[in-house]
Amino acid sequence: MELGIHVGTFRRSTIEESLQAVLDHGLQYVHLSLKRPGGPPAADAVDPLLAAEAARVLVETGLRAASLSGTFNMAHPDPSVRRRGLAWLGEVAPLAEHFGAPIVSLCTGTRNAESMWRGHPDNASPEAWRDFTETLEEALPLAERYGVALGIEPEPANVVDGPQKARRLLDEFASPRLKIIFDPANLVGPQSLGDPWAAIDEGFDLLGPDVVLAHAKELAADGTAGGLAPGAGVIDWRHVFDRLRQAGFDGCVVLHSLEEADVRTAVRFLARCMAGEGG
């Protein structure tokens, strides 16, 4: 296993400076977004200058792309938004091989038209599932054509909001190109804070063999995900790494949703947990 980080953790004026900050923090793997900075949170377009600069820096420094962001709202109630999202994914997928990124990350979407990261009562409706899965049916041929895995992440505010629905999705499609991004903080809802390990273990039991990427995002005692460095919340990270190993996972664990000032501490802590020394 290797540690990586979302390049957006390092807010710099250029992608070269951001990637250099990754190296300066002792990391060799990054999750990249090639979207134009300052664009809308929904689908936009690859910034060719940013993509070319990022590719150059990766080659020159030896940094590796663990994954590329193809994220868009796959369950948006407006079909035109979903079509624009597929167009965006069509720009990202061909670049994955160029960047050496085996995974393109996706968002299973929400009926909330304002934000991909906000829930909606209709997310549990048959219509939301239909629209999302029809969008996924169009996305999978892109993954096949360009030899990448599409990583979906169970998110509390999305249509696929937990391991049971993720398992249902994997079984329905039975595609070797559809895989799981495992974020333990997303699996622990308010109802399971008293026993967060049970919720995380259920996720591994149902999804473990299909995990291709993991996220290291901390969970506060009040159930708030993100904002804390791993080790400052309630997740037992040594247990998470133990379960990843048991699942046969040998990929990248990507830090995100933390402050830059906490990165060095988080990296040291997670490295100890990965080695079986922390908790």
* Per-residue pLDDT at 224: 82
pLDDT of residue 43: 46
Q: What is the pLDDT of residue 22?
A: 97
- The CATH superfamily label for domain 2-274 reads Divalent-metal-dependent TIM barrel enzymes (3.20.20.150)
In this prediction, residue 192 carries a pLDDT of: 56
Each residue's pLDDT tens digit, 207-221: 999 999 999 999 888
Q: What pLDDT is recorded for position 276?
A: 85
Which residues, given as ranges, of the chain have pLDDT below 70? 36-43, 189-196, 278-279
Cβ neighbours for 140, distance < 8 A, ≥ 6 positions apart: 150, 173, 175, 177, 178
CA distance 40 to 134: 23
Give the CA distances from residue 253 to residues 27, 51, 89, 169, 215, in Å, rounded to whole numbers and listed in that order: 11, 23, 23, 23, 5
